[in-house]
Chains A and B, each alone.
Chain A
C-alpha cells in the first residue's frame, strides 16, 4: 500500500490545454513538496505547501494543499512542451527526517 497515490500515472495532451494532477493520501502531512524530474536528471523542487488550504502559484502552475493536509493538486494552464516531465509529490511529517514520495505523474505535452 502506497502512502501517497498520484493520478493519473500518465497524461499526454496537446500544447495549450489545461490539466490537473492529484496527490492523495490517508495520512496527514505537515508539509508537501512537488518536484519535477526531466529525463536524465534528478528531481527539482517546484514548491512546498505547509498550511491546509494553501494555494501557491509559479507562473502557469498552481499548487493547492487540501484543507485537511491529506491531499494536493497541481494545475497547469496553457501547457507548453517544456512542461513535459515526471511530476512527483512528497509528503513530510513533523519530526520525521524523511520524505515519502508518490509514484509520479508522467506528463507529455505535444506540440
Chain B
C-alpha cells in the first residue's frame, strides 16, 4: 500500500482537452514533486513544492500548470498538450524540502498519459 495516491491511473486526451492529475499523500510530508518519466529518458523533475510554495520549476512549458492547495494535495492541470507529452507522470513527497535532499522520496504509482 502506497502512502502517495495518484488519480487517474490512466488518461487519454486530445490535444485540445483540459484535464487535471491529482496526487494525495498521507505521510505528513511537507514537500511534493511532479516528475515526468518517458521511455529511454531519465526521470525528469518538473515542479517542487515545499510547504505549499513552489520552489522549483524546471523550465516546464506553461501548458502544464501545477497547484498545491495544502501540503497533502498536489494537482497538475493540463491544457493544449502535444503528442510528445505522452508519458508516465509521477508524484512524490518527502518529509521536508529544506535542502536536506538525502531524504527519501515516496512515489505514487503514476498516471499514464496518452495524447492523441
List chain A positions with a Cβ less than 8 A from chain B.
2, 4, 30-31, 33, 35, 40-45, 48, 50, 88, 90, 92-104
What is the count of residue pairs linking A and B with beta-carbon distances less than 8 angstroms?
A: 67
B104 touches A48 (CB 8 A): yes
Stretch at the interface among B11-19, B43-51, B76-84: B43-51
What residues of chain B lie closer than 8 Å to A42, measured between beta carbons? 2, 4, 90, 92, 107-110
Q: A50-B102, A103-B42 are in contact. List 10 more A-B contacts (CB 8 A).
A: A4-B42, A31-B101, A33-B102, A35-B107, A41-B110, A88-B43, A96-B101, A97-B97, A98-B56, A101-B42
What residues of chain B lie closer than 8 Å to A102, measured between beta carbons? 42
What residues of chain A lie closer than 8 Å to B7, measured between beta carbons? none
List chain B positions with a Cβ less than 8 A from chain A.
2, 4, 31, 33, 40-43, 45, 48, 50, 55-56, 58, 90, 92, 97-99, 101-102, 104-110
A93 touches B101 (CB 8 A): yes
Rounded to whole Å, the gap between the CB of B66 and the closest CB of chain A is 15
Q: Given the known inter-chain contacts A88-B43, A97-B55, A97-B97, please indicate yes or no for A48 contacting B102, CB distance below 8 A.
A: yes
| Distance, CA A61 to CA B107, complexed state (A) | 21
B42 touches A2 (CB 8 A): yes
A41 touches B102 (CB 8 A): no
18 A-B pairs with C-beta separation under 8 A: A2-B42, A31-B101, A40-B109, A42-B90, A42-B92, A42-B108, A43-B43, A45-B104, A45-B106, A92-B102, A97-B31, A97-B48, A97-B56, A98-B45, A98-B56, A98-B58, A99-B45, A102-B42
What residues of chain B lie closer than 8 Å to A95, measured between beta carbons? 99
What residues of chain B lie closer than 8 Å to A94, measured between beta carbons? 99, 101
What residues of chain B lie closer than 8 Å to A30, measured between beta carbons? 101-102
A96 touches B99 (CB 8 A): yes
B109 touches A41 (CB 8 A): yes
What residues of chain B lie closer than 8 Å to A98, measured between beta carbons? 33, 45, 48, 56, 58, 101
